[in-house]
Every structure is written in C-alpha cells, then in structure tokens.
Structure 1
Amino acid sequence: MKNKRNVFSLLFLTSFFLVFSGQAQEKKTLFIILDGIQRELLLKNPTPHLDQVMAEGGYYPAHVGGMRGGYSQTPTISAVGYNSLLTGVWVNKHNVKGNSIRRPNYHYWTIFRHFKENYPHKTTAVYSTWLDNRTKLVGENLEATGKLQLDYHFDGLEVDTLGIPHDEQSDYIREIDRKVAAYAANDVREKGPDLTWVYLQHTDDMGHRYGVSPQMDSAIQEADRQVGLIWSAIREREKKCNEDWLLLITTDHGRGDGGFHHGGQTDEERATWIVSNKALNEIASRTPGIVDLFPTMAEHMQLSIPKNQAMEVDGVSLLGEAHASHLSGSLSGSNLSLDWKGYGKGKKGLVWVTPTNQFRYGNSDLYRLLGEVSLEEESANFDLQIAPDNLKVVLELPTGFLNVWVNAAD
C-alpha cells in the first residue's frame, strides 16, 4: 500500500507540474519582413520552410497601401510599409512617406515602445540588413521615443564598404542577409528575446534589378532557407524552454510592371501576404492589412495599450475572438452613416466621435459618445444635430477598437 501511495503521489505531482507548466508558458513574438516578394511568386516557388510554418498556422493574402483614393492612401514603398507594421497605422498618421524617413510622427508608438512600457525587464531585438530600421523607425535612443533602448541588435553591415565590398549585382546584400539570419537564429536559440524583428532585403534588390526572373526565384528560395534557420531555432526554444512563440512573416509591398517596380496603388503593388505559425481568426480571410499585425502581436503578448492610443490604431487583431472589422462611414448634413463587418451574434459596440485630431500633436482629443450599436447588424445611423465638415469615428469593440475618418459629402 505504501508503494502504491508513493506512485500515486508521484503521478499527482507530475500531472500538477505539467498543468502548471502549461499555464506558465512564456509568450514571445518574432516577425520577419522579406522585402518585396509579390504574392504570385511566393506561391510559385518551392518554399519548404515557409510551408512548415504554414502547416502549423496558415497562409493569408494581405494588402498594403491604406485606403486607395482616400485619406489613408499609403505609398507602397519599403520603409512606409515597415512603419505601418510597427505602429499599426497608415501614413497619414505615422508620416513616413518614403525611404528617407524624414519626419516620423513618434506620437504613434511602435510595438517595441509599447512592449517596453508594459514589460521594462523583458528583452527586445532587431536583426536587420538596413540600419535605419533600428535607428530611425524604431527610433532607438531618441528623445522623441523616450530614449527607447533595445536589448540586442545586429545591423549596419551595409554601410561597412571595407569589410563587405559592394558590387553591382547586389551579391553583398545576399551575404548580409545570410549573416543577419544566422545571427538572429543563434540569438533566438541562446537568448530567446521576447519581441524580435528580422528584416531581409535581397529579394527586393533582385526584383528591382531583374523583375520576374530566375534571379528573383533564387532569392525567394534563399530567403526561405534563412527563414528555416530562424524557425528551427524557435522550435528548439519551444521544446526546451516551455515558450509560446508567435511567428509572423510578411512582405512590405507587391510589385508591378513585370516585377520591377512598386510605390503606386495598382492591385499588384498593394497585394501582399502573411504567413503565421498560428491559425488566425475570421478577419484574416478578408485580406487583412499590414497594420493588423501590430494589434495581433499586442494580443499575443498581452499588452495593455492606453485607450487614447488604442483608439488611433488602424488595424485589428487577427488572433482571438473576432468582433468586427472594415469600418466605413459617410456624412450627409447632420446624418452619420456607418457600416462594418460583424462576426458572431449578441455583441455590442460603442460609437465615439470627435471633430478634432489633436493626437497627432501629442495632445488629447475630446470624444463624444453617440451610443451603443449591435455589431451583428453591421450598420448604424446617427443624427448629430449639427453638420460637421469631418469626424474621427471610433467603434469600441468588446476588445479593441476600429476607427475611420469621415468627411462631409460635397
């Protein structure tokens, strides 16, 4: 009887430990931008490592470029896309209009700044083939970003023309990508940063130089091998360290004109994709935007974002329960009409409006509550009693927010 009791106690303690360990799983996020890979070429090429990630989560057609022809229309240019991902807002807010990155509006915080505000003692990392990603977009050590500090980084090799001689064929960028991916994989394996950005550039160089071509195909397959190094390191961490990793892989723009160019608003230039190791919610089936990755990462990392900042985010989480998406509106005199896509039944939302846009200057907007709406009805109308020229409208969901700017009809 004594031996049986000992066995029972051991089994109980083992089961308790396993359950407890599952609850205590540490959440980590890593996102990769593979520059300028158009959707059709990603699907055409053999990508066994990306396929492994998709098998655990999925592949999702996505978009960049904001509202085509509207207030948030956003150039399909590299740094513009990176910053839309980092901040969760389009160019009319973050103000990065090109690769020169002249005047970012740091009032729209990056995911890194929110993360450090929530978890000062957790670690962040950037591994990049472009130095400006860390120094200008994330804004490390700038007054405007609160002197934000990253814990780990590996970048700047592209400015070392002596150590890595430049060549017209851009082979040096391919070599830098290899070094960046290998360094990132090693740090993931040994240090396990909590929030990590990996950026690889060579595919974009091949697109600009050769368009749709064997060279571009080769670059995509090379990028897949580099993803495989990082994915292997993540899998090792998950097994050995009881960690729950979210891996998001995307591109910053599509390509038009035979695969050579981007920057405009054609369907081909706006068309992107997302690969995730986790199955995403119903919103992901409706061609999500690059801005949706910010709230998705915030959801996974359980970030608490102040309400005035969360109300500005243009994206919506692709993880967890879906409530609503695709908010649009119109003004006709004093009548405000709103439409959205609702998910599920019995859910309610609150509609807030303000005629000001003081947030962009670091100040607060004074919102007026119009009332409650049923999300499953997917539309609502309000008599404002006045006829404003424009309104910033926010739909508060059970978790998260949607926003849209509405101008009076001409």
Structure 2
Amino acid sequence: MEQLKTNISQTLSNHKTMLLRTFIFACFFSLSLSSLAQNRPRKVVYVIADGIPADVIERLELPNFKKIISAGSYSRMHVGGDKASYNETPTISAVGYNSLLTGTWVNKHNVPDNDIKAPNYNYQHIFRLFKNQYPDKKTAIFSSWTDNRTKLLGDGLPETGNFKPDFVADGFELDTVRFKHDKKADYMHFIDEEVVKRAANTIHDQAPDLSWVYLEYTDDMGHRYGDSPEFYKAVEMLDKQMGQIWDAINYRQQRFKEDWLIVITTDHGRDEKTGRGHGGQSDRQRSTWMVSNYKNLNTHAQYFDLSIVDIMPSIADYLNIKLPKSVEQEIDGTSFIGPVSISALKANYVQNHLDITWKALEKKGKVKIWLATTNAFKTGGKDDYHLLGEVDVNQQHYLADLNNYPSPYYKLVVEAPDNTLNKWISVK
C-alpha cells in the first residue's frame, strides 16, 4: 500500500511538472508571436473617391467594399467643420483633401476652394510628418489630378521642406491623346482605371509605406447626372477598382508578413434635391463615410461623430509617427485607433471666464488646461501657452478665470493622457 501511495505521489508530481513546463512554453510561444507581430512592417494606403454621400454607399451592392468591411469596419463621417462656427469648411473637393492631409479645417489649412491659391504649409501634411521621422521609408501618390501633388503636397517646395513623394502616377488628364476627352466624360473612368492599375501594381511589387490614391470619375457622374443609374454605375465601378487594391494588399500581407491599413473615404456628399451639387452645409452635402480594414475602433469612433480630420491622426498612430507638440496642439481630429481620453470639447466665454467642458472616455488621469492669446503658429511662429489648471479627467469641466489674460482672441488646448483637443475663442 505504501509503495502504491509513493507511485501515485510521484506520478502527480511528474504531471504537475509537465503542466508547468507546458504553461511556460505556451507563455514563451505567445510572447514570441506577439513580438513577431509587433515587428511586422506597417503600411498605409488611403483612397479618396470623389463626391459620394453615405446613403449611396449604403444602398448599393458593393461586394469588394463588403469584403473590406467584413475584415474591418464601416463608419459614417462628416466634412464641413462645425456649422456656423469659426471652422465651418466648404464641402468642396480640394478642401476635403487638405482637411484629411493636415487633420485641420479650412481656418487653418487655408484651402477654401479648388484653386488652391495659398495653402498654409505651416499646418504640415501627414506625408511630410512621416518623411521627417522616417526619411528612408517610401511615400506614393496615384492621382487623376496633378494639383494634389504639386499644390497640396507641395512637391519640392521650400515651404514643405522640399518634400517629394517616392512614387508618382498622375497627370493623365493632360494626356489628351491616350485619354481623349469625350462629351460623356468617360475618359475620366479610363484615367481612374490607369491610376488604380498603377497603385495596385506598385503596392504589389514595391509596397510604399504611405500611399494616397485619388479617383475622380464618381464626382463627374454626380455633377452630370445627379442621383441616377449613371452615378450608381460609377460607384459600382469604383467597387471593382477597390478589389484590385485590396487584392494587392492581401498579397503583401500574406507573402511578406506586412500589416496594412486601408482607409477608403470621400471628400463631400451631394445636395438633397438633385444630387448634382455640393459646397454647402446641408446634412447630405456634409455626409461622408469610411470603409477600412481596421476593426477595433476606439470609444471615440464608436460613440461620437467621426469626421474627415480624424483620419490623419489615425494614420499617424498606426505608423507610429510622433507628432511634434506644436503640431499636436493644432490638429482638429481625434484618432480612431488606440486609447482616447476625452472628446466633445466645448468652450463658452462668460464674463471674463471660459466655461470649458468635455466628455471623459477614460475615468482616470488628469487633464491640463492650456491657453494662448496669440496665433503665431499660423505664420510659422510659436505660441506661448499658459497652464491654467490641472484637474481629473472625469471632472469633465473647468471654469477658467481670464482676468490675467485680457485678449479678444484665445487658443484653448486641453491635454489629456491619451489625446489633445483644441478650440479657438473669439470675444466679441
């Protein structure tokens, strides 16, 4: 009997040792996989498909969009800034492109129309910020409109730090021999096809780290036909084009162990009555959307209204771009990737005080309230911010005494552990 007890005890001891070894191995293996996943190269491509309101995307059968959404997410967005405020922004094409590029509204980036006469390059675009931190990594633009590169990105300009994209495919609208301009504007579809082919091939073979694809045909059909079979057909053609880019991304992810973020969006909606116009502040003209393979949208994206300026800081987070503090203080968007502390900042001037409120998305940590009475950043200078106070995030309000800071104008920055929000206040 004693020998039996000894054998059982030894067997249990051996079993425990085996379980412990198995557990340690599993932990080590899991950590190794995690480490490998963290070391996988990260790449981003974003697509602007011009002039498609959210309701059109939602009513059509778009199989390739659905593939991407099934891997990630779909969200409604808006353009146009805040209605009837200092940052109200025209719902016009180039205006939307630059809001995405810089993460700011028109009061900052200064592109109010498609003429693009005087962009304020002090509000740096995502490509420039990326190259400044990672000079050896590659950028690309594939576009049917040369101004996107020459004016918005400021290709080779001293004002943009002589930024130059590494891969370029644009200017096809100038080739009237290969793309003969016809009355129905079908040539723009063929240009978009060329743009997509170049983009897909470059992603497949060269894998730029940050790419912009711009496609115009949908907007042309919207202007020409409004809400119509012609317009819907153009959107369905777009879906097929996105299939080409999605296939190239999947090839890279599977063959080269890269992690890719794709964001597909639009620059404005269309008018409610005909679907031909845009530029105003009606709900449908402001109504946009985002299709992405990113699945785990944060609490800001889940519970608050996303906008086009949220895309730039999200790309920055995904690519681990460390934004300079002066840039971070000016960005109007909030990342939909990773933790976020606060949202929905409001500020109301009341008798030499500023009544400041926000929504706490995390219940721990502090917020710092900063105030400047200058706007030197706009002209390339540095603003002098004063720390007014520091309170718990979950307090969700702060009453700032402005008696020591008399000014007709204020810049407010609320800095939380995971993100920063800002407002401009004009005292009338």
Alignment TM-score, normalising by the size of structure 1: 0.94
Gaps of 5+ in 1: 1-7
Q: Within the alignment, does 1:370 sit opposite 2:388 as a pair?
A: yes
Distance change in 2, residues 1:215/1:400 (3 Å): same
Aligned to 2:423: 404
The residue identity in structure 2 corresponding to 1:92 is N
Confirm or deny: 8 A CA contact 1:186 1:233 kept in the other structure. yes
Match of 2:333 among 308, 315, 320: 315
User: Relative to structure 2, which stretch is displaced further, 19-28 or 171-180?
Assistant: 19-28
User: Is the aligned partner of 1:81 residue 2:81?
Assistant: no
Q: Give the Cα–Cα distance (whole angstroms) in 2 for the partners of residues 270 and 379 of structure 1.
A: 29
| Cα offset, 1:347, TM superposition | 2.7
Would you say 1:351 and 2:369 are equivalent positions?
yes
Kindly state the Cα deviation for residue 55 of structure 1 after the two structures are TM-superposed.
1.0
Q: Does the CA-based 8 Å contact 1:254-1:262 persist in structure 2?
A: yes
Please state how far the C-alpha of 1:15 moved relative to its aligned partner.
8.0
Where 1:174 maps in the other structure, the secondary structure is: helix
Per the TM alignment, residue 74 of structure 1 is displaced from its structure 2 partner at its CA by: 0.4
Shift of 1:391: 0.8
Identical positions, percent: 44
CA spacing shift, 1:398–1:14, aligned 2, 3 Å = closer
Structure 2 distance, partners of 1:373, 1:223, is: 49
1:225 is aligned to 240
For 1:192 and 1:17, the matched residues in 2 are separated by: 26
Farther-moved stretch of structure 1 (18-27 vs 77-86): 18-27
1:220-369 equivalent positions in 2, closer than 5 A: 220-256=235-271, 257-279=273-295, 280-285=297-302, 286-369=304-387
RMSD across aligned positions (CA)? 1.8
Residue 173 (structure 1) aligned with residue 191 (structure 2): no
Mapped to 2, the partners of 1:224 and 1:184 lie a distance apart of: 15
Sort the Cα spacing of 1:19 and 1:391 in 2 relative to 1 into closer, same or farther, 3 A: closer
Secondary structure in structure 1 of the residue aligned to 2:211: strand
Kindly state the Cα deviation for residue 349 of structure 1 after the two structures are TM-superposed: 1.1
- The CA deviation at 1:13 is 11
Deviation at 1:407, TM superposition (A): 2.1
1:105 equivalent among 120, 131, 135: 120
Q: What is the identity, as a one-letter code, of the residue corresponding to 1:388?
A: S
Once residues 225 and 169 of structure 1 are traced to their aligned partners in structure 2, the CA distance between those partners, rounded to angstroms, is 21
Give the deviation of 1:378 after TM superposition.
2.1
Q: Any gaps of 5 or more consecutive residues in structure 2?
A: 1-21
Tell me the residue number matched to 1:4.
none
Report if aligned partners of 2:342, 2:419 keep a CA contact under 8 Å in 1: no
Moved more, 12-21 or 140-149: 12-21
Alignment-derived partner of residue 131 in structure 1: 146
Partners in 1 of 2:346 and 2:27 — Cα distance? 54
Shift in CA distance, 64/19, structure 1 to aligned 2, threshold 3 Å = closer
Matched pairs, number: 401
Q: Please give the alpha-carbon distance, in whole angstroms, between the structure 2 residues aligned to 1:67 and 1:20.
A: 42
Which residue of the partner structure matches residue 121 of structure 1?
A: 136
Distance 1:17 1:398 in 2: 29
Equivalent pair of 2:340/2:419 in contact (CA under 8 Å): no
Counterpart of 2:6 in structure 1 is none
* Aligned-residue offset at 1:28: 0.8
Alignment partner, residue 159 of structure 1: 174
Which of the two has higher C-alpha Rg? 2
The residue number in structure 2 matching 1:206 is 221
Q: How many angstroms apart in 1 are the aligned matches of 2:365 and 2:74?
A: 28
Change (3 A) 1:393 1:35: same
- How far does the alpha carbon of each residue in 1:279-334 deviate from its partner, in whole angstroms, 9 at most, with x for none? 21121132211011010000000001111111011111110012112212011222
- Aligned residue in 1 for 2:5: none
Moved more, 35-44 or 21-30: 21-30
Counterpart in the other structure of 1:183:
198
Alpha-carbon distance, 1:337 to partner = 0.7
- More divergent stretch after superposition (263-272 vs 344-353): 344-353
Name the aligned partner's letter for residue 274 of structure 2. G
Are residue 391 (structure 1) and residue 406 (structure 2) matched? no
Q: What CA deviation, in whole Å up to 9, does each residue of 1:173-210 have, x standing for no partner?
A: 00011111111011101110000000111000010000
Distance 2:172 2:255 in 1: 32
* Partner AA of 2:381 in structure 1: N
> Residue in 2 aligned with 1:380?
398
* Contact 2:51/2:219 (8 A) holds in 1: yes
Which 4+ runs in 1 deviate beyond 6 A?
11-17
C-alpha separation between the residues in 2 aligned to 1:324 and 1:344? 7
| CA deviation vs aligned residue, 1:185-241 (integer Å, no higher than 9, x gap) | 111011100000001110000100000000011000000111110011101111111
Q: TM-score, normalised by structure 2?
A: 0.90
Q: Given that residues 34 and 251 in structure 1 are in contact (C-alpha distance below 8 angstroms), is that contact kept between their aligned partners in structure 2?
A: yes
Q: CA deviation at 1:275?
A: 1.2
Aligned in 2, Cα 1:71/1:190: closer, same or farther, shift over 3 Å? same
